[in-house]
């Protein structure tokens, strides 16, 4: 038993912290206010290998473990959660499935630039009519000659604008639902890839989320990731890892909010006392900090399960469920501790309040996580 990071995990976390402190924190609030894409921060993170934390070294990754990945996403998200999700998606939903299911050629051509952060990856699964029920896709890929023609529209694609590579899930045999899905690697400059306007959002305002249309995109067979009809297992593996990332992002959001509130409570005085000496304030801070630690340990536990090669689907769902709830509560507590000042953009906590909510929604809503978790209990 050891609750400390290994020297290797700690060394990487220290590198991430330095980048976050120097290249993310000073501009995070401005990026959010301007809904600006944080390209320089992404470049700094790419330099230390944070875009391919657990991708193999021989394919341009940092070759570390899932715990290191979670530590990085948590740290980044404590300053700029929108950056946290872009990095998480690139690691878990793009580099991860290529490393896991790709051919040697695909790893060379697609994984290496993504893991190095030269090409940003995006994951295109959700459609207007297929959210939690992800098997009823209307995006189709039909065989033509040696290759495929991909056609359909994907919505709410994270990093959809800057992405240079899309992992696209399409139905090759629609009647078979989940058994008829296939995954494709689609370069952003392929003919027929059309990006819509950026979505305006409640939070994660500097993230780039948009609709992407694939208009009869012709792809050679070398763009198919894994076997035809086996796409669901690619999706599940990717989302399991992604849920660890979203859990870490949520934990970072919670910490970012509570750290700010704690500092505020040591400075602000009312009724002749520091805020932190006032009973109701202590109660809410103690409660929120405990929920957050409980959730963060669940995230790290799920990461360790993945690193040991165990089945970790329920662990990932639990981690995301717990951490997203804790993040929403922590951000709410932080705003409450600031009082009216918390409602002002200048104090920096309302941003976390807005950002927190999405962690209960994407990569599987909390309701979906509970179904997965309950299923692991009752079908055992």
Q: What angle do CA 195, 105, 309 make, to 5 degrees?
A: 90
Q: Tokens 């990085």 identify what position?
A: 72
Q: Tokens 């040991």 identify what position?
A: 308
Q: Is 350 a catalytic residue?
A: no
Site for other proteins in 25-64 (CB under 8 A): 25, 29
Kindly give the pairing relationship between strand 193-198 and strand 273-274.
unpaired
Q: Which of 7, 146, 197, 377 binds other proteins (CB under 8 A)?
A: 377
187: left (phi over 0), alpha (psi -120 to 50) or beta: beta
Report whether 123 contacts 149 (CB < 8 A).
no
Phi, psi of 127 (to 5 degrees): -125, 170
Count of residues that interact with other proteins, criterion CB under 8 A: 64
Structure tokens at 20: 């976050």
Q: Which of 293, 336, 354, 365 binds other proteins (CB under 8 A)?
A: 293
Phi, psi of 48 (to 5 degrees): -95, 10
What's the min distance (Å) between Cβ of 216 and other proteins?
40
Q: Which C-beta is closer to other proteins: that of 191 or that of 379?
A: 379
Buried b / exposed e across 298-314, counting CB within 10 Å, b at 16+? bbbbbbbbbbeeeebbb
What's the min distance (Å) between Cβ of 249 and other proteins?
18
What's the min distance (Å) between Cβ of 272 and other proteins?
6
Q: Quick one: DSSP state of residue 200?
A: P
> Is residue 300 part of the contact set for other proteins (CB under 8 A)?
yes
What's the min distance (Å) between Cβ of 206 and other proteins?
17
Structure tokens at 256: 């970012």
Q: Which of 107, 243, 260, 306 binds other proteins (CB under 8 A)?
A: 260
Give the interface segment with other proteins, choosing from 118-126, 153-161, 163-171, 295-303 (CB under 8 A).
295-303
Q: Tokens 């999405």 identify what position?
A: 358
Give the interface segment with other proteins, choosing from 47-55, 156-164, 184-192, 252-260 (CB under 8 A).
252-260
> Is residue 285 part of the contact set for other proteins (CB under 8 A)?
yes
> Is residue 4 part of the contact set for other proteins (CB under 8 A)?
yes
Q: Which of 152, 161, 348, 364 binds other proteins (CB under 8 A)?
A: 348
State how far the Cα of 114 lies from the Cα of 120, in Å rounded to an integer: 6
What's the min distance (Å) between Cβ of 291 and other proteins?
7
Site string for other proteins, 310-339 (x = CB under 8 A): --------x--xx---------------x-
Terminal alpha carbon distance of the chain: 27
State how far the Cα of 62 lies from the Cα of 57, in Å rounded to an integer: 5
Which residues fall within 8 angstroms of residue 335, CB to CB, at 6 or more apart?
A: 257, 342, 343, 349, 350, 353
Give the interface segment with other proteins, choosing from 32-40, 107-115, 205-213, 266-274 (CB under 8 A).
266-274
Q: Which C-beta is closer to other proteins: that of 200 or that of 377?
A: 377
What's the min distance (Å) between Cβ of 343 and other proteins?
12
Q: Which of 259, 354, 361, 365 binds other proteins (CB under 8 A)?
A: 259
Report whether 76 contacts 83 (CB < 8 A).
yes
> Is residue 276 part of the contact set for other proteins (CB under 8 A)?
yes
Q: Which C-beta is closer to other proteins: that of 67 or that of 111?
A: 67
CA diameter of the chain: 79
Q: Which chain residues interact with other proteins by CB under 8 A?
A: 1-6, 9, 21, 25, 29, 67, 258-260, 262-272, 274, 276, 279, 281-283, 285-287, 289-291, 293-295, 297-298, 300-301, 304, 318, 321-322, 338, 341, 344, 346-348, 367, 369-371, 373-375, 377-379
Q: Which residues have a catalytic role annotated?
A: 363
């Amino acid at each position: 038993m050891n609750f400390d990071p290994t020297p290797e995990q700690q060394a990487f976390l220290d590198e991430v912290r330095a980048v976050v402190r120097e290249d993310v924190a000073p501009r995070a609030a401005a990026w959010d206010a301007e809904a600006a894409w944080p390209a320089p921060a992404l470049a700094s993170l790419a330099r230390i290998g944070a875009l391919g934390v657990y991708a193999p070294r021989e394919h341009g990754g940092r070759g570390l473990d899932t715990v290191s990945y979670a530590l990085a996403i948590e740290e980044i998200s404590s300053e700029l959660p929108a950056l946290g999700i872009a990095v998480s998606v690139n690691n878990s939903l793009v580099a991860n499935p290529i490393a896991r299911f790709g051919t040697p050629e695909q790893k060379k051509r697609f994984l290496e630039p993504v893991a190095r952060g030269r090409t940003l990856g995006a994951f295109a699964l959700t459609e207007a009519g297929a959210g939690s029920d992800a098997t009823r896709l209307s995006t189709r890929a039909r065989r033509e000659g040696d290759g495929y023609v991909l056609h359909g529209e994907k919505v709410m694609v994270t990093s959809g604008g800057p992405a240079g590579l899309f992992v696209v899930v399409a139905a090759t045999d629609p009647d078979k639902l989940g058994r008829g899905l296939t995954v494709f690697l689609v370069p952003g400059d392929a003919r027929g890839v059309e990006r819509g306007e950026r979505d305006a959002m409640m939070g994660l305002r500097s993230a780039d989320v948009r609709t992407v249309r694939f208009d009869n995109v012709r792809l050679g067979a070398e763009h198919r990731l894994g076997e035809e009809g086996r796409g669901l297992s690619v999706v599940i593996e990717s989302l399991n890892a992604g849920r660890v990332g979203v859990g870490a992002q949520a934990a970072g959001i919670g910490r970012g909010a509570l750290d700010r509130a704690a500092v505020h409570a040591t400075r602000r005085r009312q009724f002749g006392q520091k805020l932190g000496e006032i009973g109701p304030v202590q109660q809410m801070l103690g409660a929120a900090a405990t929920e957050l630690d409980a959730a963060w340990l669940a995230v790290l536990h799920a990461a360790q399960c993945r690193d040991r090669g165990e089945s970790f689907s329920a662990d990932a769902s639990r981690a995301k469920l717990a951490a997203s709830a804790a993040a929403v509560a922590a951000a709410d507590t932080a705003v409450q501790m600031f009082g009216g000042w918390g409602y002002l953009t200048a104090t920096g906590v309302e941003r976390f309040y807005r950002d927190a909510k999405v962690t209960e929604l994407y990569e599987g809503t909390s309701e979906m996580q509970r179904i997965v978790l309950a299923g692991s209990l009752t079908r055992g």
